[in-house]
Structure 1
């Protein structure tokens, strides 16, 4: 069993579930994200609270964990203070959340832990912070892999260039897990000659080719779903995300959903001038006015980012341009490029939907890491025949006030979005 700290919409939860773990408790401060998480994992517990304000006792008592031993605690503390595109201030107060991650791991006493963060933590003076983290664990009964690594999602079957730091640790009476070996190689990778035996990473078009063109559905101007959509012929990658074929060693619970339904696909209204600019931009290049990147169908996606929250300016991160239609990609298309299966749904707004994806770890990358822990535990997970219901769809339409009320928390726990 596992615990997810800083859970967001649930990318890491899903990856660990796919590897064979039951993620019995997840902690997330944002009520909107909690509601989305609950919709996709209604059979486990989501605690809508800050890690600063919770304890191991509360996590155990408010979930079905009780006094049982926990296999692994994982999570990615918000990391803007280390971001390569931020100022990377060493004493950024946002980085104090990492200390609370450590505190909860030591309180919960799992057999293993995984800490995920941005690549920027490994650069310059921030390496000192990694040393502090490792020392805190090693002084409290844990050991940590000293050869920490940056993993690129594109080497684990995800059609996106996304590099993240992973720290792996365990109690002193356990064996440290290894880092997962790459299973795919991105097109035109510098490592191609070294990894010629690996299969190619799915391309952008492998991910998108069977999805219905949203501009053919007028109703998607007002809502984010349509029944009985006209899906095309999928790639092998698309078949897996649609649930038409099984993913290798995927032990997640099957969800009850209609595969003919297109979800998370609210259209974006672009003016004629923008559409002309998008159309004239070559694939694989950046449109000079908007600075949006136009996806190349035979390449992989650039890193999908979340943008900034309300208290940091409420900026929407640039969304890629579709490779063939002069528009930005939809939330569902971003989800495909992030390795989320089609049954997984996001908040109905593009604002929250893209932030939920951009803030999350691609499930297939999380699955690769979690599978290494499964190997050390030396258990053989099984695929259960249980088909789980998804949650109530009202969870996906909550605004902040309704979501906060649903979880009985202050509606200003996340500062409201400032609109210009």
Structure 2
């Protein structure tokens, strides 16, 4: 089995995608303790490392994991890069900005580990923005290390995730010149036939297909280990449920009286502009206090999904916000994946996560579709040993 390490692992979105693609995640690293609590619960405490790559040298980490240069199969991560914010003047946006040091640290880890494959993801604006300085610098360094590299922006909805979420991906390989990103498997429901190299595309997964089988709730209600509302009504629900018989993390946040009054005044599909005069706010996002409809694709989940004034998080049928489990479904986390921490902490974990289904598609294309012959011919000596995972928090 191929081995993977997930830097900036968060609650484990990329790692879950790796695992669903058939790889073994031998380590995940992040500095956020509540994120790491969820990662450790789902992947094992021995694989969870609460460290920063800014202070932990790559060679020390390799030693702890009993790895030598070139042995790791795949290194993945989504390094934050605040210096590329659109709020920073264009002339000051560049990879050398100290705020982007984690991007450089990630590339340093690539140079130290020299894995067969690399996946790096970030916000969509990073690919073409700032005179391509971000993309050019990442491509230059990966090419310098001997990798073939491809990059582009992918919309999670095009890969079976019930959410419009655009992310930039850089994929790299030391094995072949034909590295590529995955082709979409899903399309907008237009009534016209569309296809890729592998056949006709299916329609995007909508909210009803994603969450309808989860129990109905009133705001402030819910219990752990609840029963499903119904049998699965879609292949997506069946995929998310797997062998689960009970629903976890499905408790509706209790809203403040004014928040509940605003949500209650709106019909599915309505939002901020539709609030009655006496309930209007002084400003806000266009989707604020908005309610979803069953046939919608969800907007991009953010870490503020716990707050009704931050986006369209209202349930299409019940007068409440989406629960953590419903948000997890929209992010394509399977129902056996448990989230640890307070409601707000769990919301933050999900808002910052990479959708596992999207990551699975990226990995399947990068590692398997083009390398079946390589993988099937690997000898037992190529299979890496799992790391001990016993590195503890460093000062």
TM-score norm. by structure 2 comes to: 0.81
Deviations 1:72-103 (A, max 9, x none): 11111114443568877615533221101100
Deviations 1:112-145 (A, max 9, x none): 1111111111244251121111111222222312
Aligned-pair CA distance for 1:157: 0.6
- Matched position secondary structure for 1:238: helix
Which ranges of structure 1 fall in alignment gaps of 5 or more residues? 245-258, 309-313, 382-405, 411-420
Aligned-pair CA distance for 1:198: 1.1
Match of 1:344 among 331, 337, 341: 337
- Following the alignment from structure 1 to structure 2, what is the Cα–Cα distance between the partners of residues 281 and 75? 40
Q: Residue in 1 aligned with 2:381? A: none
Q: Is the 8 A contact 1:159 1:300 kept in 2?
A: yes
- Following the alignment from structure 1 to structure 2, what is the Cα–Cα distance between the partners of residues 230 and 143? 46
Q: Is the 8 A contact 2:219 2:253 kept in 1?
A: no
Deviations 1:274-318 (A, max 9, x none): 33422333433433446233212101100001249xxxxx99954
Q: Residue in 2 aligned with 1:99? A: 104
- Which stretch of the first structure deviates more once superposed, 265-274 or 202-211? 265-274
Q: Is the 8 A contact 1:155 1:184 kept in 2?
A: yes
Q: Residue in 1 aligned with 2:382? A: none
Q: Is the 8 A contact 2:69 2:114 kept in 1?
A: no
Deviations 1:354-378 (A, max 9, x none): 1111111100000000001222332
Match of 1:137 among 138, 142, 150: 142
Aligned-pair CA distance for 1:330: 1.0
Indicate whether 1:269 and 2:266 are aligned. no
Indicate whether 1:110 and 2:115 are aligned. yes
- Following the alignment from structure 1 to structure 2, what is the Cα–Cα distance between the partners of residues 151 and 380? 29
- Following the alignment from structure 1 to structure 2, what is the Cα–Cα distance between the partners of residues 295 and 212? 17
Match of 1:185 among 184, 187, 191: 187
- Following the alignment from structure 1 to structure 2, what is the Cα–Cα distance between the partners of residues 214 and 154? 27
- Following the alignment from structure 2 to structure 1, what is the Cα–Cα distance between the partners of residues 304 and 376? 39
- Following the alignment from structure 2 to structure 1, what is the Cα–Cα distance between the partners of residues 154 and 368? 18
Q: Is the 8 A contact 1:295 1:301 kept in 2?
A: yes
User: Does the C-alpha gap of structure 1 residues 98 and 276 become closer, same or farther in structure 2, counting only changes over 3 Å?
Assistant: same
User: Does the C-alpha gap of structure 1 residues 294 and 85 become closer, same or farther in structure 2, counting only changes over 3 Å?
Assistant: farther
Match of 1:278 among 257, 263, 271: 263
Q: Residue in 1 aligned with 2:25? A: 23
Q: CA RMSD in A?
A: 3.0
Which ranges of structure 2 fall in alignment gaps of 5 or more residues? 274-280, 378-390
Match of 1:163 among 162, 166, 178: 166
Q: Is the 8 A contact 1:4 1:26 kept in 2?
A: yes
Aligned-pair CA distance for 1:319: 5.9
Indicate whether 1:360 and 2:345 are aligned. no
- Matched position secondary structure for 1:106: helix
